[in-house]
Structure 1
Amino acid sequence: MTGKHRIIFALAIAVLLSACVTSGAKISQDAEAALIQRQNSAVTVEKLVFHPLKTGDVLPLELGATDPVLLVDNEYAFVKAFALPQWNGSYMIKVASFRVGSPIDPAILYPTVVFLDEAFKETRRSSPQQFVYRREGLNTGDGLHATFFFNEANRGDRYLILASRRQLPEGNTRLSGYTVNMTPITVPVGAGAVTWVVPTSAANHNSPMAASASGRVSLEVQAYQPMRIEPAGKSGQ
């Protein structure tokens, strides 16, 4: 079996399994409907409950209809709010948003991460370009990843808000790969017949991944030691 045939076979299995998985389009539509329904109960930043983070935390989370709604960038969004660790040296926070839906009809939550000081004033925020899409194959373990660093320059950051984006950011994530063409074949069996749907060819595709207001996310807090850059000529002394 050639490499291309293996890909076609694997994707054919994925197509059959995806019949039992909620499509990305459905997930996106349901999340949007839930968000619209909750807009009248939107809160202000001061009313959010900020869950404390500590170094070593690894938090798999679901962001969606059970979370508060906040107005972010003039659009409503489901949010999770966290209090950053008490300053005790440099650390970093890894934020990930994982692909959901079926292998051939996925969706993803495009995150916005906002940092606030102790007076709830915004100090910085993420840009779409900070999130890098990492692919792990035909599963829902792949997604968008970004790392945020905390050191002396931004030790005044006290809070983190993780919000969903309802619109595809510029340069949005695209799902590249193969589209499998399936052909029904009827095989006589005894007095009857059985119809099998088999892959016959595959073609490259490149399409945007649907944006969802809800999804699977994670936060990971780690200590780190900033790299010290020695002036030229000082190394080895």
Structure 2
Amino acid sequence: MTDPRWLARGEATLPDGTRWLAPAEAARAAALAYPKRRTEYLLRRWAVKHAVAAITGRSAEPASLAGVEVPNTPDGAPYVLVDGAPLGIDVSVTDRAGWAVCVAGRRVGCDLELVEPRSPAFVRDFLTAAEQRFVAARPAGDDRDAAANLIWSAKESALKVLRTGLRRDTRSVAVSVGSPGEDGWGTLSVRGAEDTPMTGWWRREGAFVLTVATTEPGPRPVPLDRPGSLATATPRHSWLARPSPR
């Protein structure tokens, strides 16, 4: 597989019970007391397992998905074991507002953000001067909100590729983006002072913006299932009904 593949899943599709989890995953989920953290943990694995099933031709029945395990390395990056053996494909997974996206490829990072207002302080503290000018040049409202969240999302994707996450100063990587084409995908590039330059893709999906970064330039990501589900998705914050530990 040379081109990245992506798949989105919503919280509403999570099944009752944990028969689809590997034993270690079920134990980890049971130990998460806060509903928000538990739901996000489950949703990320639900998305990864369905992506792996689609790529490998594996059944998406619970017993089969239980054979796909998604542990994390010490630095937090996910990896996949299929019946105990490494999948051999890198995966990145992200979740936001009741939706998760998995992207599979090589040296890949992805991030999903809700298009929402970002304060001037946020833009000033986390974006470079050039990125701040990019955001400020957009009309106030949705266009400016989308620009700020796009730049932030691309940084998150790149920092996942670098395996540092937000432990690193987000202003140490500089993002530039191109306009979307007819298929909805736009290009992006990310540079850090001493890092391998990264390229990638971004797209607006309804209330969300999705970014993908990689060190190996290639074609735009290919959907693994029916495209459009994320574009029409309603952001969901079910944990607000029960925010405290159970």
TM-score bracket, normalised by the shorter chain, equals under 0.3
Give the structure with the larger helix fraction.
Answer: 2
TM-score (norm 2): 0.24
Give the structure with the larger strand fraction.
Answer: 1
TM-score (norm 1): 0.24
Higher relative contact order (CA 8 A, sep 6+): 1
Q: Which of the pair has more CA radius of gyration?
A: 1
